[in-house]
Amino acid sequence: MSNTPAHHDSFRWLASQEVASLKVTVHSFVHQQTGALHYHLETNQPELVFMVAFRTFPQDSTGVAHILEHTALCGSERYPVRDPFFMMLRRSLNTFMNALTSSDWTAYPFATLNPKDFDNLLDVYLDAAFFSRLDPLDFAQEGHRVEFTEPENPSTPLVYKGVVFNEMKGAMSSPVSRLYQSLTKYLFPSITYHHNSGGEPESIPDLSYADLRAFYQRHYHPSNAILMSFGALELEQLQHKMHQQALSRFEALPERLSVPDEKRYAAPVRVEEAYALEQDDLARHTYHVLGWLLPPSYQVDDLLKAHLLSRVLLDNSSSPLMAALESTDLGTGPAPLCGVEDSNREMSFLCALEGSNPEQAADFEALVIETLQKVVAEGIDQQAVEAQLHQLELSQREITGDGMPFGLQLLIGSLSAAVHHGDPVELLNIDPALLRLREAVQDPRFIPDLIQTWLLDNPHRVRLTLRPDDQLAARQQAMEQARLAKRQASLTPEEQQQIIAQTLALQERQAQQDDLSLLPKVTVDDIPAHLALPEPSAQHQAPLPVDWYTAGTNGLIYQQIFIELPQLSAAEQQLLPLYTQCVTELGCGERDYRQQQAHQSAVSGGVSASVLVRSLLSSEQQVRGYLVLSGKALASKHLALQELLYTTLTQLRFDETSRIRELIAQQASRRVQSITGRGHSLAMTAAGSALSPVGAFAHATRGLAGVQASLALEKRTQDQAELEKLAADLAALHRKLALAPRQFMLVGEAEQQQSALAALNQQWQACPAEAIQALSLPQQREAVKQVWVTNTQVNFCALAFPTVVGEHADAPALTLLGEYLRNGYLHRAIREQGGAYGAGAAQDHAEAVFRFFSYRDPRTEATLADFHAAVAWLLAQQEDPQKLEEAVLGVISSIDKPGSPAGDARQTYQASLFGRTPEQRRAFRQRLLEVRFADLQRVAATYLRPELASCALVTNASTAATLDASYQRYQI
C-alpha cells in the first residue's frame, strides 16, 4: 500500500500495510521531534482503543515499575486531583480502563464506544503518563510506608502498609507464581527479567521515593514511548492532540533504552528453592520445571516455530511430552508452566511437573530429555504437525474480545516487537510467516531438528525444584517483624514524629474533596438510547430446536448444545465439575483419549463442556439448568465439528480409569492453586452459599466446598475399587444427561447458514431425546458465618445480604447501589486507607443477593466493619446528583460493553433461556435511568441490615486464630 494516509505534520509516515485476516490496516508513524512511535490500526469496528506504553526495565525487585504504574495515575499537571484514574472510571462510558505492568513494559490502555468519551480519556491518560505529579503521599499509599499500629502512638509496633505491597503478598502466595519468578531468576542471570517487575514483598520497602522519580524521568519520556490506537478514528486529529498536549514539550533523548541479549550458560544449571505451605503432610507437593532460553520473541518466524513446537509437544494428551507428564508416577501431572513463554525479549520453553517430591528431580529431568530424544529419533506424525498448524491458523483468524477488547488484544499482542525495536506489523500479519512455516514443515525432520537445536543441544537450561516448607511463612513473617523492630529501635523522636505526620497527612489527603470540575466527563445524556443486542436470523423448532445468529466471525462457526439438566441427586451434582472435564478429555467410541484429543485438534478450535444453572426471573428459589457442549471450527471443517460433538455426546467412554484418576489429580491441584487469584469470588460464593439454591449449588460445585470435595475425591480414588465405582457413577450420569432434551445455537456468517443448519439436522436427527423431570434444588434462605483457612499471606472478605430478583421493583436501585457505595466509600476506606488491592459491592439478580467483597486485603474484621459503615455513610448522606450519575454511567457502561461477535450472540441466547430476553434487558436498562437517590437509601435501609448479613473470610491459619468462636471453620 503506497498511498500516504492523512496525518498530522508533526509525525512522519513510515508505512501502511493491510492485514486481511484481521480486517485492519496498520499505519506506522514516528513523531519527528521526539522519536515517539505511533501505530494505528484502522478498522470499521465501533470500539475505539488507545494505549500509551513505555519500555520499563527494572534492575531490582523493588517493584519500581509496578508502583510507578499505580502512582502515575494519582494526579497530573492538568488534572491536579487526588485520583483522576478512579474518578474517570466513574465519569466515563469506557468499555476498558486499566494500567498494566509487564516484565519489560508498562502500558496505559482504555477503550470506549463513545467519541466524546475517547477524547476525555485521551486527555487524562496523556497527562497522567507524561506529566504525573508523583506526590510522595501517593507513593506512600500505593507503594509502601510504615505506620504505628496506633497511628499517633510511637510506642506501638510499626507495620508495613501499601496497596502494591499487599497486592504482591497475595500474588506471591501462589506457588505457581513463585515457581515462575524463581525460574526466570535463573534463566536470566544478568538482565531485567532476573528481577520481579511486580516487586518482591521483602524488597518493596527498599524502594525510595527518589528512586521512583528517577525511574520516571528516565523511562516515561516520548523517546521511550509507543503510542497505539485502534478503530475508526480521525487520525490527523488524534495525532494533533498527542502532539499539542504532550509530545511537543519534549526533545529527543540521546539514549535508546533496550534490553541486551542474555549471557548464555555453557552448561545446564540445577537449583532448588522453597515455597510456603502450612500443612503437616508435605509429600507430593513439590514442583519441578525445566526451562530453556530460546531466540528473540519479536522475530515472527522464530515465534511461530516456538509456538508450533510447543503445540506439537505439549498441546494435549496425544502430544509426546504432555503424554509423558500425565502418565508418569513421578508426580500427579503437568504443572501450569508448560509451553512457550514469549513475553520477554528472548523466549523460553518450559516443561513442569507438580505433585512430586524433591528427590525425584533427576528422574523428572531424565524423563523429559528421554522423551525429547525419542521424538528426535523416531520423528513426529505429520498429521499432528498439520493439526497444530491448523490451530495456529484458527487463532489468527478468530475475532475475540469477550474479556479484553479485541482491538486492545491486538495492540498488546504486537507491543513486544515495538518495545524491542522490531516491527509490530509482523506480529499482526502472520499469514506470510504461516505460509513459510507450512512449507518448512513438509520436511519430516523439521520438528525433530528444532528439538535437537533449541532443546537438546542448548546448554542454557535450568532445572528448578520448588519444594514445600511448612516453616517458611513463619520465618518470613519473623524476618519482617525483626526488620520493623530494628527500624523502630533506631528511630529518633524527630523520625517518630515524621512517621506520625506522614500518616496524618495521608489520612487528610485521602479524605479531601477534590474539585471534580477539573476533570472532563460524559453525562447520562451521552448514554445511547438503545441497547444493541444480537437477534437470531433463523429460529426452528423442527426437525430440531435451533437458533442461528449471523455475525462477522471471519470464517469461523461456533456451536453450542444446551442439554437440559434432569433431576440429580446431591452426589450427582457434586460430580458435575469432574464430569464436564471428562467430556472432552476421555476417549470416544474406538478412539482412546489421546486419539480423541488429536482428532479434536485436527478438526476444531476446541471443544468444552460446562454447567449453567441460574434462577428464573420470578423467584430465586426456582431454577433451571443446562449442560452446555461448545465447539468452534473453521467453516471448511464444520461437518467434522458436527461429527466430533455428536460422538462426544453419544460415544463417550468411561473405561479409561487411569486417565480419570489423572484428571481428578489435575483438577484438585488447579482448584487449590486458583484460590489466591480469585479468593474474593470464592469468598462471595461462600457468603451466599445458604441464601439461594443457585448459591448453594455454586458453592458446592465450583466454590470452596467444591475445592474441598475435589481434594477428598483425589484421596478416595487412590483405591482402585473406589476409582472403578466412580467411573461407573460417571457413566450413569452421562447416560442420564445424553438422553435429556437438547437445543442448539450456532453463530457464523450469512453464507454459511444454510449448509451449517443442514449438516446439524442430518447429524442429530438420529439421536432422539426423552422427556425428563427437570432439575430442582432445595430452597435456601439462611445466613452463614464462615472462615476458610488456606495458604495465603493476605485475606479476602465478603458479606452477603438477601435481596430480590431482577424483575422486582427494587432491583435497579440495588444494582446502582453497589456502584455508588464503591465510588463513594469502599474504595477510599478499604483500598486507600485499608491497603487492600480492591473492594466493591454488587447485586446478583440470579441469586437475589447483594454482596460486598475485598481482594488481597491485609485486614479482616476491620474490613467487615467498613462494609457496614458504608451503609451507614449512605444513609447519612444528602442527595448528590453527580454521584448518582457516576453510578449510572458505571453500570450502563458495563451493560453496553461489547464482546466478540460470537460471544455477544452466546450471551444473549443464554440469558434468554432463563427469561432474560433482549426486551427484558432493555427494559431493565431503562429502569436504571429512573432510579433516584432516595431509592438507594430506601433499599439500603431495607435489605442491608446487619442482622441479615452472611459472612465469609478466606485467610491463613494465624489470622483465623484471632477470630472469635462464632465462625464456622473450614480448612483447605
Q: Indicate the SS3 state at residue 81.
A: coil
Residue 660, H or E segment: helix 657-673
Residue 771 lies in a domain: no
Q: Indicate the SS3 state at residue 922.
A: helix
Ramachandran bin of 532, using left for φ above 0, alpha for ψ from -120 to 50, beta for the remaining angles: beta
Q: Which of 696, 730, 764 is the last residue of a domain?
A: 764
For residues 799 and 819, is the Cβ–Cβ distance under 8 A? no
Q: Domain check: are 573 and 711 in the same one?
A: yes
pLDDT at residue 375, as a whole number: 98
Q: Domain check: are 687 and 801 in the same one?
A: no
DSSP strand pairing (785-789 vs 950-955): parallel
Residue 479 lies in a domain: no
Q: What's the CA gap between 25 and 22, in Å, rounded? A: 9
Q: Domain check: are 105 and 247 in the same one?
A: yes
pLDDT at residue 768, as a whole number: 83
pLDDT at residue 514, as a whole number: 85
Q: Which residues pair with 797 in a beta bridge?
A: 854, 953
Does the N-terminal peptide bond of residue 543 adopt cis geometry, omega within 30 degrees of 0?
yes
Q: Indicate the SS3 state at residue 198.
A: coil
Q: Domain check: are 205 and 345 in the same one?
A: no
Cell (9 digits) for 516? 471534580
Q: Indicate the SS3 state at residue 160.
A: strand
Cell (9 digits) for 337? 508452566
Q: Domain check: are 567 and 668 in the same one?
A: yes
Q: Mean pLDDT in runs of 10 for the chain (972 residues)? A: 84 95 94 98 95 98 98 96 91 96 97 96 97 97 96 95 95 95 97 97 98 98 98 97 98 94 97 94 96 96 96 96 96 95 96 98 98 97 94 87 89 95 93 95 97 98 97 94 96 97 95 88 94 93 94 94 97 97 96 96 95 94 97 94 95 97 95 94 98 97 97 96 98 96 96 94 88 94 97 96 96 98 96 94 96 97 98 97 96 94 95 94 96 98 98 96 95 94
Q: Domain check: are 191 and 328 in the same one?
A: no
Residue 540 exposed, middle or buried by CB count within 10 Å (0-12, 13-18, 19+): middle
Amino acid at 399: I
Q: What's the CA gap between 902 and 880, in Å, rounded? A: 40
Tell me how crowded residue 471 is: count the other CB atoms within 10 A of its CB: 12
Question: Per residue, what are the HEC states of 449-513?
Answer: HHHHHHHHCCCCEEEEEEEEECCHHHHHHHHHHHHHHHHHHCCCHHHHHHHHHHHHHHHHHHHCC
CA angle, corner 69, sides to 63 and 72, nearest 5?
A: 125
For residues 129 and 563, is the Cβ–Cβ distance under 8 A? no
Q: Which of 487, 518, 549 is the last residue of a domain?
A: 518
For residues 914 and 614, is the Cβ–Cβ distance under 8 A? yes
Amino acid at 248: S
Per-residue buried b or exposed e for 864-878, using 16+ beta carbons within 10 Å of the residue's own CB: bebbeebbebbeeee
Q: Domain check: are 152 and 62 in the same one?
A: yes
pLDDT at residue 1, as a whole number: 43
Q: Which of 626, 623, 592, 593 is nearest to 609 (CA)?
A: 626
Q: Domain check: are 631 and 735 in the same one?
A: yes
Supply the pTM of this predicted model. Answer: 0.94
Q: Indicate the SS3 state at residue 230.
A: strand
Tell me how crowded residue 133 is: count the other CB atoms within 10 A of its CB: 18
Residue 485 lies in a domain: no
Ramachandran bin of 818, using left for φ above 0, alpha for ψ from -120 to 50, beta for the remaining angles: alpha
Residue 490 lies in a domain: no
User: From residue 609, how far is each of 332, 584, 606 by CA, in Å?
Assistant: 23, 7, 10
Q: How far is CA 129 from the centre of its chain?
A: 24
Residue 625 lies in a domain: yes
Q: Which of 222, 17, 176 is nearest to 676 (CA)?
A: 176
Residue with grid cell 498527542, as numbered in its chain: 242
- DSSP secondary structure letters along 902-921: HHHHHHHHHHHHTT--HHHH
pLDDT in tens, 253-274: 998 999 999 999 999 999 999 9
Cell (9 digits) for 864? 467487615
Residue 480 lies in a domain: no
Q: Which of 705, 729, 764 is the last residue of a domain?
A: 764
Q: Domain check: are 98 and 207 in the same one?
A: yes
Residue 775 lies in a domain: no
DSSP strand pairing (556-564 vs 742-748): antiparallel
For residues 675 and 792, is the Cβ–Cβ distance under 8 A? yes
Q: Domain check: are 933 and 792 in the same one?
A: yes
CATH code, domain carrying 905: 3.30.830.10
For residues 889 and 90, is the Cβ–Cβ distance under 8 A? yes
The count of domains in the chain is 4
Cell (9 digits) for 646? 455428536
Q: Domain check: are 800 and 722 in the same one?
A: no
pLDDT in tens, 118-160: 999 999 999 999 999 999 999 999 999 999 999 999 999 999 9
Q: Domain check: are 201 and 244 in the same one?
A: yes
Q: What is the span of the domain harbouring residue 679? A: 538-764
Q: How far is CA 245 from the centre of its chain?
A: 33
Residue 525 lies in a domain: no
